Chain A
Amino acid sequence: MQLGLHPGASDNRGFPQGARAMTEKTVLNDTHRASGARMVDFGGWDMPINYGSQIEEHHAVRRDAGMFDVSHMTVVDLHGERTREFLRHLLANNVDKLKMQGKALYSCMLNEQGGVIDDLIVYFFDEAHFRLVVNAATRAKDLAWIEQQAGSFGVEVKERPDFAMIAVQGPNARAKVVGLLHEVDRARIEKLGRFAAAAAQGPHGMPLFIARTGYTGEDGFEIIVPTEHAVALWQALAGAGVKPAGLGARDTLRLEAGMNLYGQDMDEGVSPWEANLAWTIALDEGRDFIGRKALETQKATGVPRLMVGLVLDEKGVLRHGQKVLTANGEGEILSGSFAPTLDKAVAFARIPAGEPGDVRVDIRGREVPVRVVKYPFVRDGKPREGI
């Protein structure tokens, strides 16, 4: 057998390796190793894939509360009087939806051809300060692109390597985090709406930026913390009963929840129309964002491919790259995995547009029937009806 196969979440499909000479480490690296994590290379970062059992970690997040070190992700602060105007131009979603301080928005950042450079979350602090959180593996090209565009708006682009980030997810995640906050902050953070963020004091008075966002389909928070406090926060969360979970579980959780992974489900050669990201495109009147012309042309003429969900009812596992056979020709599996909540394999696939008929997947030369379904596959911790 071949070992050292990259376990899916850890690979860098769809984009070239960065030119980094060494693997980078988050400030929690020693903490992960001390708790017996199995470490893998993820986009140039040495990250925990699991702490023993990926499946148990997955269930911990669906049923209780788990935490992920996502400090490899890139935090970028944008400063300048014209920052909102700049973001109207940079992003395919409309930053004008952000009216209240602390509100967050998911968006694609497109190239002129309408291909996805990256997906990101933007937070609104004030008119002269917004924050982006972008993917780790796309860090260098994202920063180069953002800086190139920012110049003419006089916006300063400042990466924040002084921050770590911990995602705490699961039905009991918010309560466990809130219990660790300074008393004066608890009620306010408890009431924080979805896709909103606020500052609060954590254990020992450490300053936290807490966002009610995530990548698992469960409720919870993503917490940005100064690197010097990250280990103490991780340990306090562990003490509150939050179970460490690796990037393996993060990948199966987000797949079940119907969330795209950049590089696997979309990239610069894929339009948001072909990646089920139409809900993130704001073709509002008069806003000239990068890629808009291409998107409008594609919308008018129709795109040749669709992204669909697949369920395999037989034994076996759907995997990235497997061929999908439809009435209209071949497609391929994007993200595919065994789904622990469902106890069977599910996948996203990109297939030719039109009624697909009976769909089969080529698994090692065998044509296996699959069902085309609407995803998310899992909602509120339970399989969706019909999955």
Chain B
Amino acid sequence: MSEIPGDLKFLKSHEWARVEDNGLVRVGISDHAQGQLGDLVYVELPEIGASVQAGTGTAVVESVKAASDIYSPVSGEIVEVNEVLNDKPETINEDAFGDGWIFAVRISDRGELDELLDADAYAEQIENEDH
């Protein structure tokens, strides 16, 4: 299992958020989550321009046997989606914290970022899940 990058923030439900220099928030699922789901075969991406609410279903990832809703960690507008996942959903298995990002949000309330777990708190959570 790869290291959890220290600049990421997390939902308890395993989505990560990365605040970029341009103010966009890029979103994906954790390496732990992809490992639990197994080989991913399909990703249903949101539409660019859609508005999303923090904590609500925004995308869907499907592994061989299970479909899972992906919640957006923050509210705002979808400004980018990772089209690579249409043909290569396994990119999430290969690089969950990098090339396997799913969508990017122009955040409407930066205060929401404070409600997310930092990398250490998330690491502790999955540590506890495993026992």
Report which A residues bind B (CB closer than 8 A): 1-9, 38, 49-50, 53-55, 248, 251-252, 315-317, 319, 337-338, 340, 364
Partner of A315, one of B29, B66, B86: B86
- Ordered by A's residue number, 9 sampled pairs between the chains whose C-beta atoms are within 8 Å are A1-B71, A3-B13, A8-B65, A8-B66, A54-B64, A315-B86, A316-B44, A316-B62, A317-B42
A3 to B71, CA, bound (A): 12
Contacts of A54 in B (CB 8 A): 38-39, 64-65
Top 7 nearest A-B pairs by Cβ distance? A8-B65, A7-B65, A1-B68, A338-B41, A5-B66, A55-B39, A317-B62
Which residues of chain B in 78-114 are interfacial with respect to chain A, using CB atoms and an 8 Å cutoff? 86
Contact A337 B65 (CB under 8 A): yes
Q: Are B38 and A7 in contact (CB under 8 A)?
A: yes
Chain A residues near B64 (CB-CB < 8 A):
7-8, 54-55, 248, 252, 337-338, 340
| Chain B positions 40-89 with a Cβ under 8 Å from a chain A Cβ | 41-42, 44, 60-71, 86
Q: Which residues of A contact B63 (CB under 8 A)?
A: 7
Asked whether B117 is an interface residue with its Cβ less than 8 Å from the other chain, the reply is no
Q: Are A1 and B29 in contact (CB under 8 A)?
A: yes
B123 within 8 A of A: no
Nearest CB of B to A261, in Å: 12
Contact A7–B42 (Cβ < 8 Å): no
Residues of A contacting B29 with CB < 8 Å?
A: 1
User: Do the beta carbons of B65 and A4 come within 8 Å of each other?
Assistant: no
Docked-complex contact A316 and B42, CB < 8 angstroms: yes
Question: For B29, B33, B39, B86, which residue has the most chain A Cβ atoms within 10 angstroms?
Answer: B39
Q: Which residues from chain B sit less than 8 Å from chain A, CB to CB?
A: 13-15, 29, 33, 35-39, 41-42, 44, 60-71, 86
Q: Do A9 and B60 form a contact, CB below 8 Å, given A1-B13, A55-B39, A317-B41?
A: no
Chain B residues positioned under 8 Å from A319 (CB to CB): 67
CB atoms of A2 and B13 under 8 A apart: yes
Give the complex CA separation of A2 and B14 in angstroms: 8
Q: Which of chain B's residues has its CB closest to A8's CB? A: B65
Nearest-neighbor residue (CB-CB) of B87 within chain A: A315
> Bound complex: CA of A337 vs CA of B15, how far in Å?
24
Given A5-B68, A251-B65, A50 contacting B38 (CB threshold 8 A): yes
Q: Report Cα–Cα, A364/B39, bound state, in Å.
A: 21
Most buried by A among B15, B35, B42, B65: B65
- CB pair A248–B14 under 8 Å, yes or no, is no
- Docked CA distance A320–B66 (Å): 10
Known: A54-B64, A55-B64, A317-B62. A4 touches B36 (CB 8 A): yes
Residues in B neighbouring A1, C-beta threshold 8 A? 13-15, 29, 33, 61, 68-71
Given that A54-B64, A338-B62 are contacting pairs, would A49 and B38 also be in contact in the complex, using a CB cutoff of 8 Å? yes
Quote the shortest CB–CB distance from B64 to chain A (angstroms): 5
| Chain A residue, CB-CB nearest to B41 | A338
A142 CB, min distance to chain B CBs, angstroms = 26
- CA separation between A251 and B41, bound complex, in Å? 16
Q: Which residues of B contact A8 (CB under 8 A)?
A: 64-66
Bound-complex Cα distance A92 to B108 (A): 65
Task: Determine the distance from Cα of A313 to Cα of B118 in the docked complex, in whole angstroms.
Answer: 41
Chain B min CB distance to A82 (Å): 44
**Contacting residues, chain A, for B42 (C-beta < 8 A):** 315-317, 338
Q: In the complex, what residues of A have CB within 8 A of residue B41's CB? A: 55, 317, 338
Chain B minimum-CB-distance residue to A49? B38
CA of A316 to CA of B42 in the docked complex: distance in angstroms?
6
Point out the residue from B38, B39, B68 that lies within 8 Å of A2, measured CB to CB: B68
* Bound-complex Cα distance A7 to B63 (A): 9
- In the complex with contacts A1-B29, A317-B62, A248-B38 CB distance below 8 A: yes
Within the assembled complex, what's the spacing in Å between the Cα atoms of A38 and B1? 13
B78 to chain A, nearest CB (A): 17
Q: In chain A, what residue has the closest Cβ to B69?
A: A1
Bound state CA distance, A119 and B33, in angstroms?
A: 35
Closest CB in chain A relative to B9 CB, distance in Å? 16
* A50–B65 alpha-carbon span in the complex (Å): 12
Chain A positions within 8 Å of B13 at CB level? 1-3
| B14 neighbours in A (Cβ, 8 Å) | 1, 3
Contacts of A316 in B (CB 8 A): 42, 44, 62
